[in-house]
Chains A and B, each alone.
Chain A
Amino acid sequence: MAEILFSSWGGEVVDNRSKEPQEYETASKVSLPEYFQQNEEIKALIGWYGIVLRTSEVNIVDLCRTYMEAIQEKSCGKCFLCRIGTKVIADTLGRMCRGKGRQADLEILARLAESISESSKCNIGQSGPLPLRHALEYFADDFALAANGGAAIPAGTYRSKLTAPCMDACPIHLDIPTYVECIKEGKFQESLDVIRERLPLPGVVGRVCVRPCEEHCRRTNLDEPISIKFLKRFVSDYELEKNKEPHYLVEAAEKTGSVAIVGAGPAGVTCAYHLARKGHQVTIYEKLGEPGGMSAVGIPDYRLPRQILRGEVEQVQKLGVTIHYDTQVGKDIKLSQLEADNDAVFIAHGAHLSSAMRVEGENDGYKGFITGVQYLLDINLGKDPYPEGKKVVVVGGGNVAIDCVRCSFRVNKPDVNLVYRRTRNEMPADEVEIHDAEEEKVVFHYLTQPIKVIAENGKVVGLQCIKMELGEPDESGRRRPVPVEGSEFIIDCDIVVPAIGQTIDLSMLEGIDKVETTRWNTIVVNEFTKQTENPKIFCAGDCQTSPGALITACAGGRTAAINIDKLINGLNLEAAEDDYFDKLFDVVKVYDPAEDIGFLGGRARYQLEMLPPDTRKWTFDEVEKGFSPQEAMAEADRCLRCYRVATIAVTEATS
C-alpha cells in the first residue's frame, strides 16, 4: 500500500505534506488500494467521508469540482438546498478552474457547503459537501489562488460512482433506497419495477434473504435497521393480492442466440430472466420435478410457500423460457450435447450432496439415517421421510439444520434435538431462525459432537456424542472446539439427520474440455464474467461459490447473463467500471458501523405479526404475516436514503 500524503477520511486528519517520506504518518481510518484497474493508479479519493490524497499532482480544486458535479448529477431534486445549492457550488468551482475565480467565491462555497450538509433531506446533500469543507480548511492556499485570478487548471482524469451502504452490501446491488422510497410514497408497482431491473424473485428473496443490506443499514447506528427484506416481500405480495400481471421491460439485443441452463434454482432462473429479456432462446434443464433448486428443496413451506416460488418462476417462463423438469444433465442429456447445440451453456446446478460427518456408522445404510437435503426434499414434496421415527437428532448449525429441526415438528415428530459442536454465538444460521426454533422448543445441544451412529437390527436407535470445549481460534476466526475426554454420552433417537454442509456433484463435467474445478469441488470462473476457461460455458451459484446465500446465486446468474449476451453479440468480455468500484469498496468501506450520525432517532422498526409458536410448529402455514400497506409505508419512511458518491483521480500508468 503506497503512502498517503493527506487524509481527512472519517474525521481523522493526517497531513504529511510538509514531512519527509520517512516521517509519514499513516491513516488508520482508510486504506486506499494502489490500483483501480490494471494500469490505472489511484491518485486521490474524495467522497462521503473526506479526502485522501496520495500525490500533490492532483489539483484539489479540480478534484472538488469533479466530485461536486457528480453530486449535483445524482441529486434527486427533492429538496431545495441540495438541488440548487450543489449546482451553485459546482458552477462556482468550474469557474474557478477556468481561471475566472472571484474573492467572494470562497465565502459562498464555505457558507453553502455548511448549509447544505447541515440541512439536506438525504445523505447525498448531507455527505456531498463534507469533503469540500475539509478542502477549504486544509487546502486554503490552493483555493485562495484559484479565487484570485490563478491560471486555468487542466482537468484531470476521474471516475465517479454513486452507492449506498445497503446497495453496496447487496450482492446483486438492488437499488434499495429507491425502491424503499417508492414504497414510502405509495408507489408499490414502481417499487417492484426497480427490484425487477435486477431480480426476478422479489417474493422469494423478500422472504428468505439473509439480508446483508440490513446488516449495513445506516439507520442501525441510530436505532434499528430498516426492514428491507419484508418491504420487498410486501410489494410482491401486493401485486399478487391485486391480481396484477407483472410487466417486464423486454429489449431484444441486436443478435440473439440459444442458451442452455443447467438447474432451475435462483442462479439459473435469474440468468434465464435476464437473457429472455434480451430476446435470447433459453432452455433450463432441471433434475427435480419442481423449480427453485435448493430454495425449493431446502426451504420449508412455512418460510417460503411453494406457490410463491412456483409463481415467480412461471412469470419467467412467460417471457419465453422453457424448463425441462426431471431431466438430469449428465444422465438424461449430456453436457457436451448442450454445448454443441447452443451458443452458450450456464451451469447452476447447485450443491445438493450432503457432506459426510466422518463418524462411525454413517455409511452403513441404517434406516432412520437420512441426510439433511433428502430429509427436507421429502418433506417439501409432502412425504414423511420415515414415518416410524418420532425422535429426531439433527447435526449442524446452519440454516439447513434449523430447517430440518423446525420441519420435524411439522411432520408430527414431537421430540426434536439439534447437535452443534460450538456454541450459539458461533452458529452460522440466521439469528431470527435460531430464535424461532427456540420458541418452538427445539432442544439444543451445544458444544456437542457426534462420534457414532448407534443402530439395532439395521435401525437407528441413538447417536453417541462427546462434549466439546472451545480452544484457540482457527483460520475462520472462530474458536476451535476440542473434545472433552471421557464426556461421551448417548442421545436416544430413531432418526439422525446430518446437515453439516453440502458438496457439489461434478459428474456431469466428464468429457468437457477446459472447465476447471477446485479442491473444494467448485467450478472455476472469471470473477467478473462468470465464464469458465471454456468460452462457451459459464457457471455461478452454489456450484461455483460453494453453498452460499440465495441472493449471491441470483447475482451470479445476472452477471453470467450479461456476459453471455455479450458473447453472443461478439463483444469483449471484460470487467466493467462498476466491478472495479465493487473491488474498491471492499477496501474503502461504504458503511461504518461506528459512524455517529447525529440525528434524533428512537423510531423502532415495524415487526411482522407471527403465528404463535404452539400453533405454527405443527403446520406448514407461513409463520410470518406480511406488512399492511400502512405499515409498509411507515416502515419505508424510516429510510435515511444514504446515497453517497465517491470520486477517484486516476492516472494511466505505463507499467
Chain B
Amino acid sequence: MVTLTIDGKEVKVPQGTTILAAARTAGIRIPTLCYHGRLDPIGSCRMCVVEIEGIAHPMAACTTPVEEGIAVISNSDRIQRIREDSLKLILVNHPLDCPICDKGGECLLQDLVYEFGIDKVEYQAPKPARESLYATPLIRYWPDRCVMCLRCVTACREIKGIGAIEIKGEGYGSQVVVIDAEKCQSCGECLSVCPTGALTENLSRFKGRPWLVERVPTTCTYCGCGCQLELNVQNNRVIGVTTQEGKGVNLGSLCVKGRFGYEFIGSDERLTTPLIKKDGEFKEASWEEALTLVAERFGAIKEEFGPDAIGGLSSARCTNEENYLFQKFMRGVIGTNNVDHCARL
C-alpha cells in the first residue's frame, strides 16, 4: 500500500493506483472530461491536472500513478486557470446549439462550463474546416460538437477491439475519422461513451429530451447473452436504448441490435394476437383458441404419421433455459429428436 495526502487528507491505496482513483476513494472530486471508467486513461482534456508539493509541473491525475509520501493539491489558482483555459479553448468553436442538441441536459461539457461559470471566451480562432467523415445509417457524427476527447476512438479499440475510428491530421485541423469503414459494425459503443452531442443516434433525434424519458431496466431479447439495458420510454413509446456504465454482464456495452433494434416494439406491423388461417386467410384468434388448435393438430399428426413427422426449430432469441425446455418438450412430450436451433443454420 502507498500512503499519500490529498488536500491534507491521508489516503492509503494499492501501488499503481492513479491519483484520480485515490482521490475518488477519499471522496475528493477532481473534475474530468475525457476520463471514462471503462477505458484506459486518455489524458486529452487536462481537466484533472493537480499540483504535487515539490514537483514543478502540474500532473494529470488520471494518468499519474501515486508515489509514497506525495502531497497532492487538488485545486489552486493555477490549477483553476488551467482548467478554465481548457474549457475556454473548447468553447472557441463549440457551437452553442444546446437547445436542439440531443445531449442537452446530460452533456459533460455543458455541466463543466456551468460548474466553472464560464460566461465569456476571450480566445479566438477560425472554425476548423471539418467534414463529417464518420457516420453510419444509425450513428450521426457532428464534427463541430466534437471536443476530440478520444473516448470514442479508445472505446472502439479497447472495448470492441475493432479500431475503426482514429484521429487524423495534425494540430487544429485534426479530426476523428473512420479509417476502416468495413470494420465498423455500428455497435454504437462510440456514442455511448461520447461526453457531448458529437455522436448521436440517428433514429431518435428530436423524439424526446433526456430528462423527460423514463428509463426502464430490462434484459435484451436479441440473444441468450442477457445484456442489461434501459429502454427510454416516453408516452409509452420506446424512443431509445441506453445502458449504465459497468452494469450487467455486458458492463454497459451493446451490439448493433441491442442498441438500435428497438423500433419493432412500437411498430404498427407487429403481431399482437395469434392468427389462424381459415379459408386461406389469416384471422385473429385468442391464445386459448390458437394453443388448443396447435395441440389438437400435433396430437393428430403424431397419431397418424408418428412423432418423427414433427420437428421443432428454436430461436436464438430465447434464453438457455427456454431452449432447454423446448427440447425437453420435443423429446418428452412429442417424442422426437427432430429439434434444432436457428443459430446453427
Contacts and interface: CB of A to CB of B under 8 A. Distances in A.
A114 B172 CA distance: 19
B170 A91 contact: no
B204 interface: no
Contact of B125 (A78, A84, A104, A118): A84
19 contacts: A77-B169, A77-B171, A77-B172, A78-B148, A79-B46, A80-B147, A81-B82, A83-B148, A83-B172, A83-B174, A88-B123, A88-B125, A91-B126, A115-B81, A118-B58, A596-B56, A600-B55, A600-B64, A602-B65
Contacts, number: 123
Interface stretch (A67-75, A445-453, A546-554): A67-75
Counting chain B residues whose Cβ lies within 8 A of the other chain, the interface size class is 35 or more
Given A78-B167, A118-B57, A108 B64 contact: no
Nearest to A84: B89
B163 interface: yes
A75 B122 contact: no
A186 B56 contact: no
B49 A119 contact: yes
Contact of B171 (A74, A114, A126, A597): A74
A120 B46 contact: yes
B70 A600 contact: yes
A72 B46 CA distance: 18
B44 A80 contact: yes
Residue among A114, A119, A126, A185 facing the most chain B CB atoms (10 A cut-off): A119
B267 interface: no
Contacts of A596: 56
B23 interface: no
Contact of A77 (B67, B78, B125, B174): B174
A218 to B, nearest CB: 13
Given A76-B174, A81-B89, A112-B85, 10 more contacts: A72-B171, A72-B172, A80-B44, A80-B89, A83-B171, A84-B93, A86-B172, A87-B172, A92-B124, A596-B56
B86 interface: yes
A111 B174 contact: no
B233 interface: no
What 10 A-B pairs have minimum CB-CB distances, sorted nearest first?
Answer: A77-B174, A598-B56, A87-B172, A84-B89, A115-B85, A75-B171, A598-B57, A119-B82, A88-B123, A72-B171
A82 B49 CA distance: 15
A81 B56 contact: no
Interface residues of A, number: 40
B6 interface: no
Nearest to B57: A598
B86 A119 contact: yes
Contacts of A120: 46
Contact of A79 (B44, B67, B81): B44
Nearest to A78: B44
Main secondary structure of the interface of B (DSSP, over half): loop
A108 B122 contact: yes
B101 interface: no
Interface in A378-395: none
A75 B89 CA distance: 15
A603 interface: yes
B174 A119 contact: no
Interface of A: 72-81, 83-88, 91-92, 104, 108, 111-112, 114-116, 118-121, 126, 185-187, 596-600, 602-603
Contacts of B86: 80-81, 115, 119
Residue among A72, A112, A120, A600 facing the most chain B CB atoms (10 A cut-off): A600
B67 A602 contact: yes
Contacts of B60: 119, 121
Contacts of A76: 167, 170-171, 174
A601 to B, nearest CB: 8
Contacts of A77: 148, 167, 169-172, 174-175
A521 B49 CA distance: 58
Nearest to B158: A186
Contacts of A119: 46, 49, 58, 60, 82, 86
B150 interface: yes
B120 to A, nearest CB: 12
Residue among B89, B169, B174 facing the most chain A CB atoms (10 A cut-off): B89
A454 to B, nearest CB: 58
A112 B65 CA distance: 27
Nearest to B92: A84
A599 B59 contact: yes
A85 B85 contact: yes
Contact of B157 (A112, A115, A186): A186
Contacts of B81: 111, 114-115
Contacts of B171: 72-77, 83, 86-87
Contacts of A87: 125, 171-172
A163 to B, nearest CB: 16
Interface in B144-183: 147-148, 150, 157-158, 163, 167, 169-172, 174-175
B254 interface: no
B162 to A, nearest CB: 11
Contact of B123 (A108, A597, A603): A108
Nearest to A597: B57
